[in-house]
Amino acid sequence: MLPGSHRAAGLVDDTALVRAMLQVEVAWARVLGNPISVDGWVPVLDPVEVEAAGNPVLPLVTALRARVPGPVHTGLTSQDVLDSAFMLLARGAVERASADLARVAGALARLAGEHRSSVMAGRTLTQHAVPITFGLKAARWLVGVLDAAGELEAVPLPVQCGGAAGTLSRADDPIASATAFAGHLGLVWPGMPWHTYRAPVTRLGDALVRTCDALGVVAADLLTLGRPEIGEVSEGAVAGRGGSSTMPHKRNPVLSVLVNSAALQAPGLGARLHLCAARAVDERPDGAWHAEWPALRALLELVVVAASQAAELVEGLEVHADVMARRAREAAADLLAERGGGTDPGAYLGAAEAFVDEALKRWKG
């Protein structure tokens, strides 16, 4: 079980997927001139029937036809329904993650402003480099999060509508039907089906991975700075969080650990989407499409959870600027070696504050 999965409850689980597929079928029925309503009904699909069909759409359509009169699903194929349903799930996940990324950005902007002059040791390849400020570090995190959020929000989410082999041959007016279908669902009609052109999925996956990348940098830095021998930051204390099953003294940086974990998992899931895209053969794929589902669902859940955890992490972060300043003074010989020596790390900060200002301008829009 993904630690923190409750933060994504109802967004990408089995029930959410069935509900999204049902929404797709209702929208297509309206295109067919059958204005059905299911009144909140969500069928429980038999896993044996799902396996027998190779996907969950046929059992869903069977249950729906037993419940409502008139044409249902006619002219669609299972991939139309499932791909469109995943785009609906993605929309909800992106909206939730975007809201939390805005919280992350707001907290990082606050830290950048408050600590624009808080001197600390800059480190490169794990060793002392030159002095920086914690505000500059927070500003760099902020820019990464803003870039990732912008990419995520800009990803187009298209409807899938192609029929058995991507020709929409059973629709009376294929283009008008596909356009109306997209309109009912609030998705984009991309101009043609994408059964074996999986860029919509890989583009979404790439944006999700980039989001985890940006959050992972924050988490990894905080894990390093929070080590007891460094002690420059701490996660906010929350009752019951960070305890150890064997060591009573510990307060583990759980949120940083989990966000870091998400950043380590996401690239592999994104790579699987690309691998599947490269094997999307014929007019409908023979397994590559099926292998996408768990990867995309896992990636959507991972990003929603990580964004929520990251927001809580940075909003509650405790910054020990006094420790940073003391460590910088103690390491002054190293930190000022580039300029030939000195004793005041705060006198060698270059354009650090100007760079903070630039990041804050972007955040303010």
* Cβ partners under 8 Å of residue 267, min gap 6: 209, 212, 213
Residue 235 gets which letter from DSSP?
P
Going by C-alpha positions, the residue among 58, 95, 56, 86 that lies closest to residue 159 is 86
Helix 78-114 crosses helix 14-31 at what angle (to 10 degrees)? 120
244 is a catalytic site residue: yes
Q: State the DSSP string of 23-76.
A: HHHHHHHHHTT-----TT--PPPPHHHHHHHTSSHHHHHHHHHTTS-S--STT-
Going by C-alpha positions, the residue among 101, 129, 157, 170 that lies closest to residue 314 is 101
Q: Which two tokens stand for residue 159?
A: 């409807």
Active-site residue among 169, 244, 251, 339? Answer: 244
User: In angstroms, rounded to a whole number, what is the distance separating the alpha carbons of residues 365 and 358?
Assistant: 11
178, 168 in Cβ contact below 8 A?
yes
365, 142 in Cβ contact below 8 A?
no
Give the position of tokens 């950048």: 112
Active-site residue among 284, 297, 308, 327? Answer: 284
Side chain identity, residue 347:
A
User: Strands, DSSP E only, in the chain?
Assistant: 119-124, 127-133, 233-234, 318-319
251 is a catalytic site residue: no
Q: Are strands 318-319 and 119-124 parallel, antiparallel or unpaired?
A: unpaired
Catalytic positions: 244, 284
